[in-house]
């Protein structure tokens, strides 16, 4: 058994122990969906960070910086700035006026069945796409990280999937929260250690470090080149509409993070809106520190390991683990690999619980059964079954796609849908009195389908591959892309808002929705009548 496999198993054992504890402790829907709303501010803040920083952040951004220098770092800025929207606009009203899901806030004033049906569709779309991206990444990653233990891609995907189902089905929100907390602490510890080792390598001198970063040599198409990695332009150039694509990505982050269902459900786990605010601040401290330290991870990998070596040892996603290996040997490599594994598990567990909560609460109970549980506890039972089904589907799709599939665009898609479908209707229902059911339904639908359609005709799916590209990595549609940007946000977000506004004016104003506006506004802003913590 390699050290990496040993650490993986240790993490699995600890998290299963937590799940056992959580399963014994939590009874009833409030416990399953919201951990009885008894998570404290700092705990929830760490869990939000754990829910948010996926393997794409830890391994992906370190890799982007190692390969493209400054452009990779610029990419990482938006992930923190996006939390200002969460803090200023969404977190507190949502906690005050909702119960389990984001649709609770919409259904307050509007006709609940059509609105919840569309919101559930959008939530499940965002969560499954994001999850499939994570699962494919997980499978590929685990096989790489455990290379010498001969774990196949399929076995890795099934392992990750089964674990996430166990956490959610048995442990509910409480187990998911603690898996995310442990993962975030591990991730921060690993990142701090790695950053310190990088600085030590350069004699604790920022001057030496940044000097090395200005002279990074690697082979580009066979010729040795030396580039200043602090200068922009290695990835985003005028030729690929770099600036526009970055602006578009920035819009998807700034408006999408506040519409990500798996982040929003976290604010229902705390006792009140003030604690929700405190938890966003905690999350911002962790997330910000982490992304600042990607400077050391990414530039460290570029200067100490080198782009050439990373390219032949598994590609840019392996930058951070390889840096750990170069600086402190195999045990530290194993530790960083185990952190990457923990990262994936925590994120997919969060996605699973948000998808199944939305299906059970919004679709099953509210849409099919008109808002009443037929038997007490039915909603939780349905959520458990959904978690199982969602997990099984994600495993199946990830195995079908195979480990070479290009799935990075699914993350961009998830953010675009969250920004173009969810955020406009949340904001308009909180702040616009005239907003009505038809506006919400049409807004959600426009945002969802505009994002999907724009991704399909973007270079992520539509591109002519050079001859000899491996079958799994080929683009789905062999045609020049119609929409030139990889991130649809710049177009789909205005479309989502436009759909919501036009949809509103299509129908006459709803007297009930307008009458309720006063109530929603008072609730959202004062916390009067908000859901209380339960249990004990």
Partner 1 sequence: MAADDPKIPQDPTPLVGAATDIAPLTHSGPPPAHERTADEEAGLVDWEGLAASAQFRSLLKAKRRFVVPAMIFFIVYYFALPILIGYARPFMETRVFGPVNLAYLFALSQFFMAWIVAALYVRAAARFDKMAANVVSQSDSRK
Q: Which residues bind partner 1 (CB under 8 A)?
A: 30, 70, 73-74, 77-78, 80-81, 83-85, 87-89, 99, 108, 207, 210-211, 213-214, 228, 230-233, 236, 238, 242-244, 246-247, 250, 254, 274, 277, 280-281, 284-285, 288, 291-292, 369-372, 374-375, 516, 518-519, 521-523, 525-529, 531-532, 534
Interatomic CA distance for residues 362 and 287, integer angstroms: 30
To the nearest whole angstrom, how small is the minimum distance from the Cβ of residue 529 to partner 1? 6
Nearer residue to partner 1 within complex by CB, 322 or 426:
426
Nearer residue to partner 1 within complex by CB, 205 or 478:
205
Instruction: Tabulate helix, strand, coil % of the chain (nearest 5).
Output: 75, 0, 20
Collapsing DSSP to helix, strand or coil, 233 comes out as: coil
The secondary structure of residue 305, as a DSSP letter, is I
> Alpha-carbon torsion 517, 520, 526, 529, what sign?
positive
Interatomic CA distance for residues 403 and 408, integer angstroms: 12
To the nearest whole angstrom, how small is the minimum distance from the Cβ of residue 402 to partner 1? 34
To the nearest whole angstrom, how small is the minimum distance from the Cβ of residue 137 to partner 1? 26
φ, ψ of residue 507 to 5 degrees: the values are -110, 155
To the nearest whole angstrom, how small is the minimum distance from the Cβ of residue 448 to partner 1? 24
Nearer residue to partner 1 within complex by CB, 86 or 387:
86
Query: Which two three-digit tokens encode residue 152?
Result: 């196949």
User: With 0-12 CB in 10 A as exposed, 13-18 as middle and 19+ as buried, what is 91?
Assistant: buried
Q: Where are the beta strands (DSSP E) in 235-351?
A: none
Interatomic CA distance for residues 140 and 152, integer angstroms: 9
As a whole number of Å, the end-to-end CA separation of the chain is 43
To the nearest whole angstrom, how small is the minimum distance from the Cβ of residue 258 to partner 1? 11
To the nearest whole angstrom, how small is the minimum distance from the Cβ of residue 403 to partner 1? 32
Query: Which H/E stretch holds residue 218?
Result: strand 216-220
Query: Which two three-digit tokens encode residue 49?
Result: 């960070």
To the nearest whole angstrom, how small is the minimum distance from the Cβ of residue 282 to partner 1? 10
To the nearest whole angstrom, how small is the minimum distance from the Cβ of residue 105 to partner 1? 11
Collapsing DSSP to helix, strand or coil, 223 comes out as: strand
To the nearest whole angstrom, how small is the minimum distance from the Cβ of residue 8 to partner 1? 32
Helices in 313-377 by DSSP H: which ranges? 319-357
Nearer residue to partner 1 within complex by CB, 80 or 380:
80
| Cα-based angle 120, 376, 352 (whole degrees, multiple of 5) | 35
Interatomic CA distance for residues 141 and 314, integer angstroms: 9
Nearer residue to partner 1 within complex by CB, 83 or 167:
83
Nearer residue to partner 1 within complex by CB, 161 or 250:
250
Interatomic CA distance for residues 361 and 143, integer angstroms: 37
């Amino acid at each position: 058994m390699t050290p990496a496999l040993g650490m993986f198993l240790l993490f699995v054992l600890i998290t299963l122990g937590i799940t056992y504890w959580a399963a014994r402790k939590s009874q009833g829907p409030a416990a399953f969906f919201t951990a009885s709303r008894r998570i404290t501010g700092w705990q929830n803040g760490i869990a939000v960070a754990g829910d948010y920083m996926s393997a794409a952040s830890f391994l992906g951004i370190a890799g982007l910086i190692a390969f493209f220098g400054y452009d990779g770092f610029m990419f990482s800025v938006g992930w923190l700035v996006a939390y200002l929207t969460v803090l200023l606009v969404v977190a507190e009203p949502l906690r005050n006026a909702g119960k389990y899901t984001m649709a609770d806030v919409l259904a307050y004033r509007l006709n609940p069945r059509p609105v919840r049906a569309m919101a559930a569709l959008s939530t499940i779309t965002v969560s499954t796409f994001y999850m499939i991206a994570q699962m494919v990444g997980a499978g590929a990653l685990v096989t790489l990280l455990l290379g010498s233990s001969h774990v196949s891609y399929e076995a890795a995907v099934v392992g990750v999937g089964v674990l996430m189902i166990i956490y959610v089905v048995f442990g509910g929100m409480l187990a998911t929260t603690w898996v995310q907390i442990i993962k975030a602490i591990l991730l921060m510890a690993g990142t701090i250690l790695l950053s310190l080792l990088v600085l030590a390598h350069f004699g604790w001198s920022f001057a030496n470090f940044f000097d090395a970063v200005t002279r990074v040599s690697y082979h580009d198409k066979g010729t040795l080149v030396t580039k200043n990695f602090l200068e922009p332009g290695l990835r985003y150039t005028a030729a690929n509409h770099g600036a526009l694509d970055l602006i578009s990505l920035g819009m998807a982050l700034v408006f999408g993070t506040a519409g990500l269902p798996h982040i929003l459900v976290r604010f229902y786990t705390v006792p009140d809106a003030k604690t929700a605010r405190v938890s966003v601040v905690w999350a911002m401290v962790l997330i910000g520190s982490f992304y600042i330290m990607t400077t050391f991870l990414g530039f460290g990998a570029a200067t100490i390991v080198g782009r050439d070596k990373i390219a032949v040892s598994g590609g840019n996603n392996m930058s951070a683990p390889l840096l750990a290996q170069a600086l402190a040997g195999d045990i530290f490599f194993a530790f960083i690999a185990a952190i990457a594994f923990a990262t994936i598990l925590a994120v997919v567990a969060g996605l699973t619980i948000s998808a199944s909560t939305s299906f059970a609460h919004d679709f099953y109970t509210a849409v099919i059964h008109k808002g009443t549980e037929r038997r007490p506890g039915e909603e939780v039972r349905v959520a458990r079954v959904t978690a199982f089904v969602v997990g099984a589907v994600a495993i199946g799709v990830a195995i079908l796609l195979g480990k070479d599939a290009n799935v990075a665009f699914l993350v961009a898609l998830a953010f675009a849908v969250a920004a173009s479908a969810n955020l406009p209707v949340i904001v308009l229902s909180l702040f616009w009195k005239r907003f009505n059911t038809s506006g919400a339904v049409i807004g959600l639908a426009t945002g969802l389908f505009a994002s999907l359609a724009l991704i399909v005709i973007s270079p992520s799916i539509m591109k002519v591959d050079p001859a000899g590209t491996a079958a799994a990595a080929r683009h789905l549609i062999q045609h020049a892309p119609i929409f030139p940007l990889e991130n649809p946000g710049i177009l789909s977000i205005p479309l989502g808002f436009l759909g919501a506004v036009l949809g509103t004016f299509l129908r006459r104003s709803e007297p009930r929705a307008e009458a309720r506006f006063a109530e929603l506004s008072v609730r959202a802003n004062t916390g009067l009548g908000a859901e209380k913590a339960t249990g004990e």
